[in-house]
A and B are shown apart, each in its own frame.
Chain A
Amino acid sequence: MLCASRSFCCLGTRTYQLRTDLLSRSIKLSASDTMAFRHKNTRRIEGLDNNVWVEFTKVAADPSIVNLGQGLPDISPPSYVKEELANVAAVDRLNQYTRGFGHPSLVKALSQVYERVCGRKIDPLTDILVTVGGYGSLFSTIQALIEEGDEVIIIEPFYDCYEPMVKMAGAKPVFIPLRNKNDGNCASSADWVLDPGELAKKFNSKTKAIILNTPHNPIGKVFTREELQVIADLCIKHDTLCISDEVYEWLVYKGKKHIKIATLPGMWERTITIGSAGKTYSVTGWKLGWSIGPQNLIKHLQVVHQNTLYTCPTPLQEALARAFWIDYKRMDDPDCYFYSLSRELESKRDRMAQLLREVGLKPVIPDGGYFMIADVSTLNVDLSDVDGNQPYDYKFVKWMIKSKKLSAIPLSAFCGPETKGQFEKYIRFCFIKEDSTLDAAEVILKNWTKQTD
């Protein structure tokens, strides 16, 4: 028993138990003679240090490079969003801690918006957790519900953090690729589909969850109701959870509709739906996201949250709540930012596709999101000068950055080891960019075939 009980004396008299306690403890510890530093990282982060972003964002920080790589809007957020933050900055008490699981006015606003979208009652205090970005929601969900012995199905290509997060939780990722059923010139993200038979085989008694991303990054696929039903049927049959990453939910283009898998019968009770302020309002630097789901699941995410970072920043949450109220009130109005942003982006999407075609690339036209992939192998670029031991697309992007001053992201960063061969001819472009950025990209792409040194 290490802790001798004692009473504190009043008014500043000190106790001097430290020396005795620590020394008596040290006698019990085995002394080590070696001075070699034995501390390495824990098993849970073994092998998780590499990251495509660390590699490519550094490169793209060079201002002479036209950056269509990282998913970073260079367009301005709507002015009222910036104004609300400025208003909030003036309120003293909003500079201190708020409610851990989510600032009250924000969770209230979120519950209103999503009640309307989902057509069901959502309790702001028990069914919502506010997190540090969609990323933080993914982390909280996986830490709360996934562990050693579990398998988690991940659809390829996937947002790259899914795999390391599942591994960090001690579970086994099980991959299934989207397959292009149409190799022609007018490829659309809708052509990339899951094979239902193949998907069914991936489910077993160990399958704890499937991670769904719709609209999909990087392909831009918006899963149809029928496709979601196939997934839902399997989740219900195998009693599996669904982690639905819907950060691009508002970025859906003409003719398509975003459907929340949580609204399908039997799915609310087993689904965590993730959203993002960064993607909704073009404020990726606010790093606010949320998880919505049934209380019996969200409560576990809240436990993770209270043991990881406890609360998210107050002023940003308050400003976000105010922005949400503005748009909630006009959800029937086409000027609502949730709809106007996707209209703005659709024309950028079309422009991007046109530019890529002119260079001889075959872009896959996305139905949603703000990324576009293109097969670059058709250009037959000579990559022999580029450092050898990497996938084709990594080499291509590095060559393109160096010789064309244009950056993108290699698609093989978004797939598991088995399918690198399938995806390494594609690269991903981000088109949520100002006209001036797209203009600069246009110059590069139009001059592509000219000789460069």
Chain B
Amino acid sequence: MSRPVQARRLEGVDKNIWVEFVKLAATYSTVNLGQGFPDFPPPDFLKEAFTRALSGEKHMLHQYTRAFGHPPLVKILAQLFGKLLGRELDPMTNVMVTVGAYQALFCCFQAFVDEGDEVIIIEPFFDCYEPMVKMAGGTPVFIPLRPVFSREELELIADLCVKHDALCISDEVYEWLVYDGKEHVRIASLRGMWDRTVSIGSAGKTFSVTGWKVGWTVGPNRLLQHLRTMHQNSVYHCATAAQEVVAQGFQREFERYGKPDSYFVQLPKEMQQKRDQLVQSLVAVGMKPIIPEGTYFLVADISEFKSDVPDVPNSDEPYDSRFAKWMVKNKGLAAIPLSAFYCGPHKNNYNSFIRFCFAKEEATLKAADDILQKWKLEKTTP
């Protein structure tokens, strides 16, 4: 063919940081604090629910379920999020299940972003936002920001959305991972926002099962109807069994909401300890971590270690990316360069930071500490 075989919508969206870094981690790393997934097991109650579901005689669990979400799952999501948002939700029209939060994001952009539309993306950003906006023909507009938003900051965003009649796509996959007594504020609950917001959640992050790929969108029917159109013309159904089990997990949590044995209470407690452990390790060796108020990532300034990786003038690749690659190959420790989460022109603004994931078992964090300590020692001993 004289012209390229692929569609123009793929222009500029073919590069992907994960393809490269996941391969590197798989090849070289002994301790992987890179890609965001827990290396500890999912909670027992969920594993038991999975086993129970599969051992039963319900073989319809292996067949198609309702396309827009398995009824038990959308019902419990509507109940829980109705309570959290302070409004009555209809499971059939205000909730849609997707293949992970990733596909929820894709549906939102495809359903609402046309050529010529601008989409504000706050930096640093989960890297898929930019290519998804571009694939939809939109123009991303970048604004820099910081981790857990206070109510005040969200109100500012809300005011602007209302004033300019903009939509809000709110990626809240880490909604349960909030530390130091901070509050996760749902922007959809602010005045004027329910009607213009799609909130996205993830079973992978909620229940430590990233490999199940169950996510959801919550919002007003007038927005969700378009997500349903997009969904029915792209994947149509999501896997039944995983939805059934996630529904049971949510049922259990709904009954225990706010109680000490709730997974939503225990998980952030455990993660906060892991956060503190990693922070301590990093500080001890001279890396400067920024203490996160939420999620299971932290970002650290590696300026003190720059001498190990000489700068290459006029390089296309941002410094932190080269540093991270060098680190995984030579120290066996995998992390992700922060520049991965910035748009092209801004990649060099924060090029001495790398991102660590601390959703890891005790042994993993200890092993990371060992590597860092050894490294520090090598630097200080002549």
Whether the Cβ atoms of B164 and A306 lie closer than 8 Å is: no
Whether the Cβ atoms of A38 and B165 lie closer than 8 Å is: yes
Whether the Cβ atoms of A76 and B9 lie closer than 8 Å is: no
Whether the Cβ atoms of A285 and B239 lie closer than 8 Å is: yes
The 4 closest A-B pairs by CB, nearest first: A314-B211, A285-B240, A10-B288, A147-B7
What CA separation (Å) do A3 and B140 show in the bound complex? 14
Given contacts A86-B51, A132-B238, contact A310 B67 (CB under 8 A): no
Segment at the A interface, from B130-138, B181-189, B306-314, B317-325: B130-138
* Beta-carbon nearest neighbor of A51 in chain B: B232
Q: Can you list 30 contacts pairing A with B, beta carbon distance less than 8 Å?
A: A11-B283, A14-B146, A17-B144, A22-B157, A25-B143, A26-B160, A32-B165, A40-B226, A41-B229, A42-B112, A42-B226, A53-B232, A74-B60, A77-B62, A85-B241, A92-B40, A96-B209, A132-B99, A133-B235, A136-B234, A285-B60, A285-B237, A285-B240, A286-B239, A297-B5, A304-B10, A307-B106, A307-B128, A308-B102, A308-B103
Interface residues in B209-233 (C-beta closer than 8 Å to A): 209-213, 222-223, 225-226, 228-230, 232-233
What CA separation (Å) do A288 and B301 show in the bound complex? 41
What CA separation (Å) do A4 and B106 show in the bound complex? 29
Partner of A77 from the list B18, B22, B59, B165 (CB cut-off 8 Å) is B59
Q: Does B50 belong to the interface (CB within 8 Å)? A: yes
Q: Does B268 belong to the interface (CB within 8 Å)? A: no
Partner of B242 from the list A74, A82, A313 (CB cut-off 8 Å) is A313
Q: Does B69 belong to the interface (CB within 8 Å)? A: no
Whole-angstrom distance between the Cβ of A120 and the nearest chain B Cβ:
20
Interface residues as binary, B92-130 with A (CB distance below 8 Å gives 1, 0 otherwise): 000000011011001000111110000010010000100
What CA separation (Å) do A50 and B348 show in the bound complex? 47
Give me 8 other A-B pairs in contact (C-beta within 8 A), A133-B236, A283-B63 excluded: A18-B146, A45-B110, A85-B54, A89-B51, A100-B19, A145-B5, A303-B13, A315-B242
Q: Does B380 belong to the interface (CB within 8 Å)? A: no
Whether the Cβ atoms of A3 and B236 lie closer than 8 Å is: no
Q: Does B258 belong to the interface (CB within 8 Å)? A: no
Interface residues as binary, A60-84 with B (CB distance below 8 Å gives 1, 0 otherwise): 0000000000101110110001100
Whether the Cβ atoms of A97 and B7 lie closer than 8 Å is: no
Taking CB atoms, residues of chain B closer than 8 Å to A54 are: 67, 232
Whether the Cβ atoms of B50 and A97 lie closer than 8 Å is: no
Q: Does B38 belong to the interface (CB within 8 Å)? A: yes
Taking CB atoms, residues of chain A closer than 8 Å to B16 are: 306
Q: Does B1 belong to the interface (CB within 8 Å)? A: yes
Q: Does B190 belong to the interface (CB within 8 Å)? A: no
Count of interface residues, chain A, beta-carbon cutoff 8 Å: 100
Whether the Cβ atoms of A287 and B353 lie closer than 8 Å is: no
Whether the Cβ atoms of A143 and B9 lie closer than 8 Å is: yes
Taking CB atoms, residues of chain B closer than 8 Å to A136 are: 234-235
What CA separation (Å) do A89 and B59 show in the bound complex? 16
What CA separation (Å) do A54 and B141 show in the bound complex? 37
Q: Does A262 belong to the interface (CB within 8 Å)? A: no
Q: Does A254 belong to the interface (CB within 8 Å)? A: no
Whether the Cβ atoms of A89 and B50 lie closer than 8 Å is: yes
Taking CB atoms, residues of chain A closer than 8 Å to B142 are: 2-3
What CA separation (Å) do A26 and B158 show in the bound complex? 13
Given contacts A10-B288, A309-B103, A316-B239, contact A37 B62 (CB under 8 A): no
Whether the Cβ atoms of A135 and B230 lie closer than 8 Å is: no
Taking CB atoms, residues of chain B closer than 8 Å to A308 are: 102-103, 106, 234
What CA separation (Å) do A164 and B40 show in the bound complex? 42
Q: How large is the interface on B (under 10, 10 to 19, 20 to 34, 35 or more residues)?
A: 35 or more
Q: Does A274 belong to the interface (CB within 8 Å)? A: no
Taking CB atoms, residues of chain A closer than 8 Å to B165 are: 32, 34-39
Whether the Cβ atoms of B132 and A307 lie closer than 8 Å is: yes
What CA separation (Å) do A97 and B195 show in the bound complex? 33
Q: Does B196 belong to the interface (CB within 8 Å)? A: yes
Given contacts A31-B163, A42-B113, contact A311 B213 (CB under 8 A): yes
What CA separation (Å) do A11 and B13 show in the bound complex? 35
Q: Does A48 belong to the interface (CB within 8 Å)? A: yes
Taking CB atoms, residues of chain B closer than 8 Å to A2 are: 141-143
What CA separation (Å) do A282 and B225 show in the bound complex? 30
Q: Does B14 belong to the interface (CB within 8 Å)? A: yes
Scoring B40, B66, B235 by chain A CB atoms within 10 A of each residue's CB, the highest score goes to B235
What CA separation (Å) do A143 and B67 show in the bound complex? 21
Q: Does B145 belong to the interface (CB within 8 Å)? A: yes
Partner of A313 from the list B6, B14, B22, B211 (CB cut-off 8 Å) is B211
Interface residues as binary, A283-304 with B (CB distance below 8 Å gives 1, 0 otherwise): 1111110000000110010011
Whether the Cβ atoms of A22 and B164 lie closer than 8 Å is: no
What CA separation (Å) do A81 and B223 show in the bound complex? 39
* Beta-carbon nearest neighbor of A11 in chain B: B291
Q: Does A241 belong to the interface (CB within 8 Å)? A: yes
Q: Does B375 belong to the interface (CB within 8 Å)? A: no
What CA separation (Å) do A70 and B37 show in the bound complex? 37
What CA separation (Å) do A312 and B212 show in the bound complex? 8
Q: Does B39 belong to the interface (CB within 8 Å)? A: yes
Partner of A310 from the list B51, B128, B283 (CB cut-off 8 Å) is B128
Taking CB atoms, residues of chain B closer than 8 Å to A8 are: 290, 299, 301, 350, 353
* Beta-carbon nearest neighbor of A168 in chain B: B233
Taking CB atoms, residues of chain A closer than 8 Å to B60 are: 74, 285
Taking CB atoms, residues of chain A closer than 8 Å to B242 are: 313, 315-316
Taking CB atoms, residues of chain A closer than 8 Å to B8 are: 147
Q: Does A438 belong to the interface (CB within 8 Å)? A: no
Given contacts A54-B232, A300-B6, contact A96 B38 (CB under 8 A): yes
Q: Does B316 belong to the interface (CB within 8 Å)? A: no
Taking CB atoms, residues of chain A closer than 8 Å to B239 are: 285-288, 313, 316
Taking CB atoms, residues of chain B closer than 8 Å to A147 are: 7-9
Q: Does A413 belong to the interface (CB within 8 Å)? A: no
Interface residues as binary, B32-55 with A (CB distance below 8 Å gives 1, 0 otherwise): 000101111110000100110011
What CA separation (Å) do A300 and B136 show in the bound complex? 16
